Amino acid sequence: MSALENQIRGAIEVKELAFAKLNLTLDVGDKREDGFHDITSVMQGIALYDNVTVRVVPLEEWEMYGVDTAVNAVTELRSYHSTQNRGLPRGRRNTAVKAADAFFAFTGITGFRAEISLEKHIPVGAGMAGGSADAAAVLRALNRAFNTNLSFEFLRAIGATVGSDVPFCIEGGTALAMGRGEILQQLPDFPNCEIVIVKPDFSVSTAELFAAIDRVKIRSRPDTKGILDAINEGNLNLAVRYLYNVFEDALPTPQAAEVAAIREKLLDCGALGAVMTGTGSAVFGLFSEGSAEAADKLRSTYKSVFVC
């Protein structure tokens, strides 16, 4: 019996919170030789999260048959539940499962089963890194379960093989993301504020929007230096002036119109600034106060409204 099997004779269950992210700014450069685009984005973790549970048990000898000998471990997505799971990838297409497989491959740990349960609250197809947040939570959970003591830097390297937003979701906070999202510079905390998020009924294909942005004329670019200076000063009223996402220029006309309408409604309800996050379709507004009252007004029109 291995040292790890001696350490984990029975099941170990680890719970992690998977925090969503917002893109305060998002700029997209040219397509790279590897097929990805370079991005520059100020990302912010927020207090909207999924609950992720990872249960680790040693494999019985009979379970070893048919298991990939290169990994010699099994990962399962056992369950998920929430009103936010429409369109959630199942089985091995789920990024949480991919993250566990990557953890076992990178660490060389064998002979275990990882059973993953997701309680979803982050809306799917919203541009809020719900899948990436779950994947990051799985990596942190397995790191705890096996006492591997891997640094955030190492976990980010594993996460980068799973998805572009996973490295940011390992630690969250406020960060400048570059490259395809895996190059991170941690920033001072964003000034304290309240957030209202509206998820319209439609979702946007990330792949299709990246393809579209190569064909459209970008009207403007985010002022990254401007928002970084505002964050360093802790100036919320200045920072909100720099919210900008170039993907809004690449949306199909009907979706672009709805995103613009949501943004205007958020501003009418008292938001200091509002913008779409990621490749959409969620739109968020930043408030100094009054977010609960704004959310109540917006719920008369939209089904998916979140306050955090």
Provide the CB-side half-sphere exposure for 291 (13 A, CA): 19
Structure tokens at 103: 């953890």
For residue 113, give the 3-state DSSP assignment. Answer: strand
Phi, psi of 38 (to 5 degrees): -75, 135
Separation between Cα atoms, residue 233 and residue 101, nearest integer Å: 42
Single-letter amino acid, residue 109: I
Q: Which residues are catalytic?
A: 21, 165
Task: Determine the Cα angle at 49 with ends 46 and 213, to 5°.
Answer: 65
DSSP codes joined into one string, 136-156 = HHHHHHHHHHTT----HHHHH
Q: Are 263 and 220 in contact (CB under 8 A)?
A: no
Bridge-based pairing of strands 244-245 and 174-178 is unpaired
Q: How many CB atoms lie within 10 A of CB 143?
A: 22
